[in-house]
A and B are shown apart, each in its own frame.
Chain A
Amino acid sequence: MGADQTERVLDYPIPGPEVLEPPREWEELRRGCPVAHVRLPSGDPARLVTRYEDVKQVLSDPRFTRQLNAEGAARISESETGGVFNSDMAARVPDTGEEHRQWRRLVGKWFTAKRMTALRPRIEAMADQLVDGMVEHGTPADLKAHLGFPLPVWVICDMLGVPDADRDRFSHWSDALLNLTRYTPEEMERAQTEFDAYMTGHVEAKRAEPQDDLISSLITEVAEAGADLPGPALVATSMGLLVAGHETTANMIGKMVAMLLDDRSRWESLVADPSLVRTAVEESLRYDANGGVGLPRYITEETEIGGTTVPAGTTVMCSMSAANRDGSAFEDADGMDLGRSPNPHLTFGSGAHACLGQALARTELQVVLEVLLRRLPTLELAVPAAELRPVDGLIVGGLSEVPVRW
């Protein structure tokens, strides 16, 4: 290892040998080069951290943010659109300090564990309805298109108080706005205009007649505090939740099911003992080797990471997926253990910015798994795992389709 290893510049992200397998380089990097020099798709240089302790340290350090608009900060790519961690998200969700804390407090109360328990039966009914549709379509079917993709956006509609009748339109806008499946620039622009018009009307309707939903409660609370949250800020929060919560959860549903079916003994052990669902979801979140590019942090003052001094002005990429396979943090890190507990994986980040929607994401993943185990215990992959293809785009990793039969 030593000096020349540190000098080597890797192209990042590093592709895995197969879509469900981790790149071989992770282990080498964690062991020999924990703060590696990498080149991002934009061509900009950055440092990559892969060890559990280091990733956790950088993500939980309140001095460093994901805001990559600082002068000198690296860009991930020239053209990436959508996705939770890029400028889109930074522009919609306040990023630092008091403003961020206030925003989290206002929105966070809609994501508490208690709310999730109350929401659970509704999510289950949605999942059942989507599985009905998939069964009606007939085997084989693409689980992502039938279940993984529509469920998270329906759930967000529910929280925002968007009526059921408008769900499909909303789902289309989210798809086009985030460019989840290919759209032309004109289609994306039209979706943006329609979404803005719809949400502006929706916000005004809630202002006139508040109900039990997130938008109404934001309006009422801010008004009680003697302030006014303008319509565009509410539209932006709705958009922020879609950006953060749709693509991530949709892809995770697909990957989770694919991992559990790839070695079918995993699926069978869940059919035999559904009480493993909770820990199996956590282990799927940890084991996912295709977690996307990771989280960027812009280092504003010189700091030490894993024994290396990193100067101010550096962009550090934190690979949660590599950290989640670190043998010094997880016993048998490359084995999938559906009963693993505790499982302090870093898939939702760490510290003050840790995923606000994680209780919701967990609930959705658990419900999807429970419903599938109950409805389609004979589920299996309809193609060999080696034929599964990654989605286009690098920010959020996922599978383009998850063909299943039952």
Chain B
Amino acid sequence: MRVTVDEDRCCGAGQCVLLAPEVFDQREDDGVVALLDGKPPESLHATVREAAEVCPTGAIRVDEEA
């Protein structure tokens, strides 16, 4: 699984960080998403998918194949 984030779309609501702090963080200065792990381990796949689905701006992209 490969995860990418679109910083321009992110509204800094922090949903992703609440769900998967191992994979997502927020920049200290403005709350915009920062990707910590673009290739998360298997055990986190379900939470990462959930984060992508509930992100209010659709800023998280999950590529299952890669």
Report whether B56 and A343 are in contact in the complex, using a CB–CB cutoff of 8 Å.
Answer: no
Q: In the assembled complex, which residues on chain B have CB atoms less than 8 Å from the CB atom of A104? A: 11-12
CB pair A105 B30 closer than 8 Å: yes
Bound: A109/B26 CA distance, A: 9
Using CB atoms, name the residue of chain B closest to A343: B54
* Most chain A CB within a 10 A radius of its CB, from B11, B29, B30, B49: B11
Which residues of chain A come closer than 8 Å to B32, judged between CB atoms?
A: 105
Q: Please, which residue of chain B has its CB at the minimum distance from the CB of A110?
A: B31
* Chain B, range 6-48, C-beta contacts under 8 Å to A: 11-15, 17-18, 21, 25-26, 28-32
A341-B58 Cα distance, complex, nearest whole Å? 17
Interface presence of A362 (CB below 8 A): yes
**Residue from A105, A343, A355 within 8 A of B13 (CB atoms):** A355
Asked if residues A112 and B54 are in contact (CB atoms below 8 Å), the reply is no
Q: Name B's interface SS.
A: loop
Interface string of A220-260 (1 = CB under 8 A from B): 00000000000000000000000000000000000000000
How many of B's residues come within 8 Å of A, CB to CB?
22
Residue of B12, B26, B54, B58 contacting most chain A CB atoms (<10 Å): B12
**Are A354's CB and B56's CB within 8 A?**
yes
**A336 — which chain B residues lie within 8 A by C-beta?**
none
Residue A172 lies at the interface, judged by CB distance under 8 Å to chain B:
no
Total chain A interface residues with beta-carbon distance under 8 A: 27
Tell me which residues across on chain A come within 8 A of B14, comparing CB atoms: 111-113, 116, 358-359
Report B-chain residues with C-beta under 8 Å of the C-beta of A352: 11, 57
Bound: A255/B43 CA distance, A:
35
Using Cβ atoms and an 8 Å threshold, which residues of chain B touch A280?
Answer: none
Nearest neighbor of B29 in chain A, beta-carbon distance: A109
Asked if A351 is at the interface of the complex by the 8 Å CB criterion, the answer is yes
B15 touches A105 (CB 8 A): no
- Bound complex: CA of A400 vs CA of B54, how far in Å? 31
Rounded to whole Å, the gap between the CB of B11 and the closest CB of chain A is 5
Question: Whole-angstrom distance from the CB of A104 to the nearest CB of chain B?
Answer: 7
Contacts of B17 in A (CB 8 A): 112-114
Chain A contacts with B in 47-70, Cβ cutoff 8 A:
60
As a 0/1 sequence over residues 363 to 402 of chain A, the CB contacts with chain B under 8 angstroms (1 = contact) are: 0000000000000000000000000000000000000000
Q: Which residues of B contact A (CB under 8 A)?
A: 11-15, 17-18, 21, 25-26, 28-32, 49-50, 53-54, 56-58
15 inter-chain pairs at a CB distance below 8 angstroms, sorted by A residue, are A104-B11, A106-B30, A109-B26, A109-B30, A114-B17, A344-B53, A350-B57, A351-B57, A352-B57, A353-B11, A355-B13, A356-B11, A358-B13, A359-B14, A362-B18
